[in-house]
A and B are shown apart, each in its own frame.
Chain A
């Protein structure tokens, strides 16, 4: 049986920036000192996944599958650190895999001039609400 390629949905680019107060809050909650030298914590771009369009897409996928999103893996790779106050463009691609059911989210952070600064890879396992799943962390 032929396997259909999983459809990919693209979002953005979204104009985002590193907010100083939020970066300080984030640093505190991960056990770090306030951002040094004016740079955001490396994992700070995770906060941009709460943008309404991205949040809605994740929520819709979970509702369609009657599932709870469970964070399976996460990766960040930087060309250069993100300076507080600078603007960036965030582009997101989201793919739904069927077996096992998961959302694969690839995001690219670039300068407004188009220079890549960071790549973010997120995998969310879609766990059916009634199932017992002890093998993953959220």
Chain B
């Protein structure tokens, strides 16, 4: 083991608030990711599936957990990340990301429950992440 002790079950990661997301944010993410699903960019299409506005890309939100976790513990490296997209965050809304340690061991790493919430406080993403202790420089 190197450096700081592992976090303990129950430890929380400082929350991060993102947004509000505007059309330019969604257009830039679409360009960077290649996910140009028009549902995120087209008001009429969003309306056709019952949404009041285009939804923020779920991947933009899920991926944002990586910098959040890196800012929390830079001695740990993210090795897995997953999420279920439950309720959409819509254009014009903000999201709050939070994470809590469920278990941690040197053998299995640090396992966290992730949550993204929108203005209604209902879960937008329910996810999981695993962090492992960073190896010597250049390792993973």
Contact = CB atoms under 8 A, between A and B. Distances in A.
Interface of A: 22, 25-33, 37, 39, 41-43, 46-47, 49-50, 68-78, 80-81, 121, 127, 129-138
B51 interface: yes
B82 interface: yes
B125 A43 contact: no
B13 interface: no
A136 B86 contact: yes
B33 A47 contact: yes
B97 to A, nearest CB: 9
Interface stretch (B2-10, B56-64, B99-107): B56-64
Nearest to B79: A78
Contacts of A133: 49-50
- Report whether over half of chain A's contact residues are helix, strand or loop; otherwise say mixed: mixed
B14 interface: no
Contacts of B63: 26, 30, 41-43, 46
Contacts of A74: 58-59, 62, 82-83, 85
Interface string B60-76: 10111011101000000
Contacts of A68: 37, 39, 45, 48-49
Contact of A78 (B80, B83, B124, B138): B80
Contact of A77 (B32, B66, B80, B89): B80
Contacts of A41: 63, 66
A47 B32 CA distance: 8
Contacts of B49: 68, 70, 127, 129, 131-133
Contacts of B88: 136-138
A43 B32 CA distance: 12
Contact of B82 (A69, A121, A131): A121
Nearest to A58: B37
Nearest to A47: B34
B96 interface: no
B18 interface: yes
Given A130-B48, A138-B57, A30 B67 contact: yes
B86 to A, nearest CB: 7
Given A25-B32, A29-B29, 18 more contacts: A29-B25, A29-B33, A32-B66, A42-B66, A46-B34, A68-B37, A69-B37, A73-B83, A73-B85, A74-B58, A74-B59, A74-B62, A74-B85, A76-B80, A76-B82, A127-B49, A136-B85, A138-B85
